[in-house]
Structure 1
């Protein structure tokens, strides 16, 4: 390992100004997404698509019809216990690892965690947590114990990667399961001691620290707690990284625009980058979304003019991380097709550690937050997808084939093929006017392409799937406020989308509409500070969609804004009709999950209300519909990712991403030391459970 003097440490320069995403630090914005919010808006379209009364002054809306109660709901301890729409009968069997019982997280009444700035993982009283696995912990055989001063590419490819995000849990037997986790991005300022590594060594290790991990877990005590099994030597453990081969599937595989010097076939890609959220399929695989992939590519001697419009729509401008100095595939002047090989949904089979992971081109290419699958009434697989950018769109995919539940080898082969053929849609939402006091309306799924026929004039099937954003622009879908996690509720059959925020909402290029109504909100600079006005949608929404006829394959739906997030004291907020004086403040919803009662669990990213981020429980039906209660907060500078309710509702898994990522922090001057096992922070997965 080449040493350099401390003053020559290759720290990356951070932007000093610019609109931040929520309360994110400049560090987070730089390392996670390449300062996406400071760049020109990738979506330049100005199509008019909403027929409604534009929301002019939100004020104190009564939302007269927003708090409906689902017939037949039984409420115990203030939390919905059963019931839901008839659509629930058409849902997929519960995915492996999903809750099926009556655990404490579903039933318990708890005092919500108060907003705080502690450097700790804080749970509601009566609950506790364990750290399951940390950055650098051994994953596969041969992995050394972690030492920040002796990191290498070889060790990074065997250890738990940096900045964990999506969390999935797939059962093996009564006492063991496989944990599957994404590693979204790296923060070189916090990872590397000054003077210990050369600039190129840092880049190589950072590249290897991306990807995914599969780790075997074993039940622990008390009930709901889990620990690692095998300490990195389990046969099922796996580390997917920059040297892992991923197979491309679907119509774009082999396309000339997918071919590179290293892969003249255009069918095999090394690695997966910026993996954000994901989902577990009914057939026991994990889907992972490649999100801000655009930031990894350097300009080199210049951008290929053939792809000027396509690059621009995806935010590919050549302002990369300098990785081309250690790997020429990140030089756009040498390999203009390499970015086309990222931005896909990845499918991994955790049960088969020898299987080749795949990138499914049939699900379109954009900044995927993740993918979550339900089954239509006729057994077709339906995947819901969000494109995480200001002013981008909601999508769904409906397979041609049908899910086979027989459990045979032939059935599994059939199911593993479901995401390779079907129809890709984009959503248009229409408001019905705000005279009724409710932000709601109807929606249509507009077909973009099947695997054999494009519905977008002037674009082939491969064009639509490779440049999905440009294809969608042509059919005038609804520009949303950063659609992130989109997930079907297995109990009531509705679909919930986290719309994190949009500081540009209300500008000339992004006017308000009924689905995105706020051009201003009220926020707090710190805990206890007075509310102040801020432009744009600073706190985000949770969108609730109901497929017509209760069938996920339907091409029409109704919708409402279930939550208009923010401080309950702010007049624009709305909590499903629940009493605003009895809810927790919530800001910047990011990921969603459900327990076996159908209660919604929300994790946040970029809270602007003066507190650390956290995870919240919210009933979606019954008299407590909309009762937002904060269950936990994460440490200083961190984001709450996941979350996952598992083990018969006894376990809440949370990925604590980028603890201590606060402006000015360095390896020698850390803003956090969580989980307090070292003098520096380590992104980690934790599991929360009921105390003894």
Structure 2
């Protein structure tokens, strides 16, 4: 059995010593860390920098709010058919599971726009993740009297949509097209397990004794495109779907480390035995992977790439290394978990030319942040100290299936909910979000400098232009929150819980939020999206979403004139008796319900979104 999780023994002490040498410890370690590490945004003249729009104020309205001169179009809400001829959405949620399998899923999250070659960016395929469902709104009577049909509909509302979208003219609206490419990948879509863990006994079930085939993908959080024009979708919070029994797992066990409890919020196990761990103890090992989808081949089988490790994958950013290999940056979205990097074993072009995946062979690393501003990528390779058979890892497959325990064993740095990452154009610097961590109540470290970190922060690492490097320098780009929390953003641009993160082609850093926002005049505010200029440190609020939503998922056309953004679970406090309790966005029908949706943001003058 792999060892119980450990924490690097001296990082807080190292941070204390470093900070005491360089800055007064007035106010404690958190204050010192903020003053030393944070690259506090500097004021800049409005005529300078990358941000060409006026900042908007916070909002608690049930609407998407944008700067003057901007507009949005609701393109792809939950329940819209993936082709115009598909089954229409029923406002009372009475669509069947079969209908749902041909409609947009729920809880839109990460996505990517793949333009058609030669189309000028006015047409292409949009891949959209559907992370989860609001069951109280998915069915007319919510969770009451659970049935196999409800399980089937819930499963059909998870997964991925591939749709073809078009813009008829510059300045015109976007629409879905009848398309040979359009399809849904759901929890009943056959997928293949590939890489070092494929076929391992821990992946075998009664339905798949070989451990290489699995039905479906779930909790599809964020995503990333590959240089070879495929789509990576990331399986995140898998523990919600598997029932362990009345007794929780043994403390320190792999099930405990992956968050399996004595309850399953999704009652699929009541109608389908593969989600009951008493019947199929290995099924949950078959989820928590990065899944590769070819959007241009509707007959292709999704591939679960096990070389990238098993965790609560948030997103996956792929770049080419200096030798042409695939390098993938990833976060594991749980309090006190880690940032990871995968480096392929051979150049992308060579692997593909010889019929191999660039993502099936290589080395997975986990990040350790040192107090002096340096860092190391620790290899998660069987046989390394802590990862031997004596430590409970019989081979590389066990290291990958139990990635979290392997990262614990080598002494990675536990982070404040590591989520999205993105790579800065030109410099190759990697930015990571730490969304928040209210469970950090006893100790801080240099990379996580605040106790009760309600508002989160963003880290920046520099690998010297070599994505495959084993070492890096790091700094804190910003501390989110209000001034009372030690934030390094201007008071009028205060925000909390950074989650989604993406650089556009011009170098603007877009920041999306999911969670606690600073109060304004004592009132709660909605989640938002901001843009930052990394060179000047300037940051401006660009978009605020409707009530109780998360802002997530972002991609654009190559010319930057259309920006796709996802609005996830607006009004998620609604009930079957009162579905519009907190929101009725985006349609506001008197008898309808709120719907997650993809929107398209454009400028009235046709210019580049966010630019001058």
User: TM-score range with shorter-chain normalisation?
Assistant: 0.7 to 0.9
CA-to-partner distance for each residue in 1:430-456, whole Å, 9 max, x for gaps? 012xxxxxxxx0000000127x99972
- Contact 1:116 / 1:612 at 8 angstroms: preserved in 2? yes
The equivalent position to 1:190 in structure 2, one of 126, 131, 137, is 137
The equivalent position to 2:582 in structure 1, one of 668, 671, 678, is 671
Shift of 1:607: 3.1
CA-to-partner distance for each residue in 1:403-422, whole Å, 9 max, x for gaps? 22xxxxx8755586000000
Secondary structure, aligned partner of 2:16: coil
The equivalent position to 1:597 in structure 2, one of 499, 506, 517, is 506
Instruction: Indicate how the Cα distance of structure 1 residues 677 and 67 shifts in structure 2: closer, same or farther if over 3 A, else same.
Output: closer
Counterpart check, 1:566 vs 2:481:
yes
1:642 corresponding residue in structure 2: 553
RMSD of aligned C-alpha atoms?
Answer: 2.8
2:217 corresponding residue in structure 1: 272
Secondary structure, aligned partner of 1:449: coil
Query: Structure 2 CA distance, aligned partners of 1:687 and 1:43?
Result: 46
Shift of 1:570: 2.9
Instruction: Report the TM-score when normalising by structure 2.
Output: 0.88
Question: Residues 622-637 of structure 1: matches in 2 within 5 Å?
Answer: 624=536, 626-637=537-548
2:49 corresponding residue in structure 1: 79
Query: Structure 1 CA distance, aligned partners of 2:477 and 2:400?
Result: 31
1:550 corresponding residue in structure 2: 465
Query: Structure 2 CA distance, aligned partners of 1:665 and 1:154?
Result: 21
Query: Structure 2 CA distance, aligned partners of 1:355 and 1:667?
Result: 41
Query: Structure 2 CA distance, aligned partners of 1:314 and 1:338?
Result: 13
Counterpart check, 1:205 vs 2:153:
yes
- Contact 2:93 / 2:137 at 8 angstroms: preserved in 1? no
- Contact 2:190 / 2:216 at 8 angstroms: preserved in 1? yes
Question: Residues 612-631 of structure 1: matches in 2 within 5 Å?
Answer: 612-621=526-535, 624=536, 626-631=537-542
Shift of 1:470: 0.8
Instruction: Indicate how the Cα distance of structure 1 residues 518 and 77 shifts in structure 2: closer, same or farther if over 3 A, else same.
Output: same
Secondary structure, aligned partner of 2:151: helix
Counterpart check, 1:681 vs 2:597:
no
CA-to-partner distance for each residue in 1:80-134, whole Å, 9 max, x for gaps? 4xxxxxxxxxxxxxxxxxxxxxxxxxxx522212111010011111111111111
Shift of 1:668: 4.1
- Contact 1:318 / 1:332 at 8 angstroms: preserved in 2? no
- Contact 1:165 / 1:655 at 8 angstroms: preserved in 2? yes
CA-to-partner distance for each residue in 1:640-692, whole Å, 9 max, x for gaps? 01122433221221110000013768554531110025321011000111113
Query: Structure 1 CA distance, aligned partners of 2:30 and 2:344?
Result: 40
- Contact 1:280 / 1:372 at 8 angstroms: preserved in 2? yes
Shift of 1:312: 0.5
Counterpart check, 1:356 vs 2:356:
no
Instruction: Indicate how the Cα distance of structure 1 residues 325 and 465 shifts in structure 2: closer, same or farther if over 3 A, else same.
Output: same
Counterpart check, 1:131 vs 2:74:
yes
Query: Structure 2 CA distance, aligned partners of 1:304 and 1:573?
Result: 39
Question: Residues 75-114 of structure 1: matches in 2 within 5 Å?
Answer: 77-80=47-50, 109-114=52-57
Instruction: Indicate how the Cα distance of structure 1 residues 238 and 617 shifts in structure 2: closer, same or farther if over 3 A, else same.
Output: same
1:457 corresponding residue in structure 2: 388
Query: Structure 1 CA distance, aligned partners of 2:241 and 2:36?
Result: 48
> Aligned pair count?
574
1:652 corresponding residue in structure 2: 563
1:104 corresponding residue in structure 2: none
1:17 corresponding residue in structure 2: none
2:8 corresponding residue in structure 1: 47
Question: Residues 405-554 of structure 1: matches in 2 within 5 Å?
Answer: 412-413=352-353, 417-432=357-372, 441-449=373-381, 456-458=387-389, 459=393, 460-507=395-442, 511-519=443-451, 536-547=452-463, 549-554=464-469
Query: Structure 1 CA distance, aligned partners of 2:61 and 2:509?
Result: 25
Instruction: Report the TM-score when normalising by structure 1.
Output: 0.78
- Contact 1:135 / 1:161 at 8 angstroms: preserved in 2? yes
Query: Structure 1 CA distance, aligned partners of 2:66 and 2:498?
Result: 18
Secondary structure, aligned partner of 1:138: coil
| Structure 2 alignment gaps of length 5 or more | 20-27, 519-523, 606-612
Counterpart check, 1:214 vs 2:162:
yes
1:121 corresponding residue in structure 2: 64
Query: Structure 1 CA distance, aligned partners of 2:106 and 2:217?
Result: 14
- Contact 1:302 / 1:332 at 8 angstroms: preserved in 2? no
Query: Structure 2 CA distance, aligned partners of 1:220 and 1:141?
Result: 16
Instruction: Indicate how the Cα distance of structure 1 residues 65 and 205 shifts in structure 2: closer, same or farther if over 3 A, else same.
Output: closer
CA-to-partner distance for each residue in 1:606-626, whole Å, 9 max, x for gaps? 1331311111100111xx2x2
Question: Residues 349-388 of structure 1: matches in 2 within 5 Å?
Answer: 349-388=294-333
Instruction: Indicate how the Cα distance of structure 1 residues 560 and 414 shifts in structure 2: closer, same or farther if over 3 A, else same.
Output: farther
Query: Structure 2 CA distance, aligned partners of 1:376 and 1:61?
Result: 32
Secondary structure, aligned partner of 1:190: helix
Query: Structure 2 CA distance, aligned partners of 1:117 and 1:415?
Result: 52
- Contact 2:514 / 2:527 at 8 angstroms: preserved in 1? yes
- Contact 1:494 / 1:545 at 8 angstroms: preserved in 2? yes
- Contact 1:297 / 1:318 at 8 angstroms: preserved in 2? no
CA-to-partner distance for each residue in 1:290-329, whole Å, 9 max, x for gaps? 1100110113477788x97110110112411221122110
Query: Structure 2 CA distance, aligned partners of 1:203 and 1:667?
Result: 22
2:609 corresponding residue in structure 1: none
